Structure 1
Amino acid sequence: MTHRLSGACHCGAIRLELTLPRPPEEEVVGACQCSFCRKHNARTVSDPKAQARLLVHEPTELQRYRFGLAASEVVLCRRCGVYIAMLMTEAGKAWTTINIDALDERVRFIRPAEPRDFSSEAIEGRRERRKARWTPTELVGWPKA
């Protein structure tokens, strides 16, 4: 049985849909220890057996931010400032880890967030780990680079 969740930034310019293979109450919750995630007190979920869609309704409000090794980019709303997801793309494919607090049913994620520190990881290993562990994602209404 799959579990469908939805969410959005505060103003609705960027929406997200997440289909999980397990109930949110059973999903592992992560707490990345990078400086960006710590400053946002982010709790995230990713599952390679899940499926996500990021829907950009107002492309001018999409803000993408890269830092560190630039192996991925943060997806933010330029208007309301909400952090939606961390996104990695390669060869026309996309993977994300979703900020749980951007989901409408965030209270269903009841497991304590597990700290994760990947600061010593090289870029090659980081990209391979993300492809193996992050959620395959469809980008809808995404502006062309």
Structure 2
Amino acid sequence: MMHRLDGGCHCGAIALELSLPRPPEEEVIGACQCSFCRKHNARTVSDPKAQARLILRQPSQLQRYRFGLGASEVVLCHRCGVYIAMLMTEGGKAWTTINIDVLDGRARFTRSAEPRDFGGEVLEERHERRKARWTPTELVGWPEESG
């Protein structure tokens, strides 16, 4: 049984659908230790057995940000500033780790966030880990160059 959660940014320009294989109460929550995630106090979830859909309702409001090794891009809403997810694309496929605080059912994620520090990874290791551990994601209404 999949557990469906919806969410998105504050203004509604970017929507999110997430289907998890476990109830949110059982999902492992991450707390990346990079400076971007710490400044946002982000708590994230990713599961290779889950499925996500990122839906651009207003493509002009998509804001992307890359830093560090540039292995992925941060998905933000240009209008309301909400941090939605980290996104990695390769070969027409996409993977994300989702900021659980954008989900309508965020209160159901009750486990403590586990600190994660990937600062020592080289680019190739980072790509392989993300493909193995992040959530496969469908990009709906996305500009061609990202998907």
TM-score between both structures, scaled by the size of structure 1 = 0.99
State the Cα distance separating 1:56 from its structure 2 match: 0.2
1:128-143 equivalences under 5 Å are: 128-143=128-143
Secondary structure of 1:53's counterpart equals strand
State the Cα distance separating 1:144 from its structure 2 match: 2.2
1:123 correspondence with 2:123:
yes
Q: 2:70 corresponds to which residue?
A: 70
Secondary structure of 1:37's counterpart equals helix
The CA distance in 2 between the partners of 1:34 and 1:5, in whole Å, is: 26
Secondary structure of 1:119's counterpart equals coil
Q: 2:88 corresponds to which residue?
A: 88
The CA distance in 2 between the partners of 1:119 and 1:85, in whole Å, is: 19
The CA distance in 2 between the partners of 1:107 and 1:5, in whole Å, is: 11
Q: 1:23 corresponds to which residue?
A: 23
Cα deviation code 1:108-137 (max 9, x no counterpart):
000000000000100000000000000000
In structure 2, runs of 5+ residues without a counterpart are none
Cα deviation code 1:55-100 (max 9, x no counterpart):
0000100001000000000000000000000000000000000000
The CA distance in 1 between the partners of 2:55 and 2:127, in whole Å, is: 23
The CA distance in 2 between the partners of 1:22 and 1:4, in whole Å, is: 10
Q: 2:50 corresponds to which residue?
A: 50
Secondary structure of 1:7's counterpart equals strand
Q: Which amino acid aligns with 1:109?
A: F
Query: What is the identity percentage for the equivalent residue pairs of Structure 1 and Structure 2?
Result: 81
**Over 6 Å off, 4+ runs:** none
TM-score between both structures, scaled by the size of structure 2 = 0.98
Q: 1:98 corresponds to which residue?
A: 98
Q: Which amino acid aligns with 1:6?
A: D
State the Cα distance separating 1:138 from its structure 2 match: 0.1
The CA distance in 1 between the partners of 2:57 and 2:17, in whole Å, is: 13
Let me know the Cα RMSD of the aligned residues. 0.4
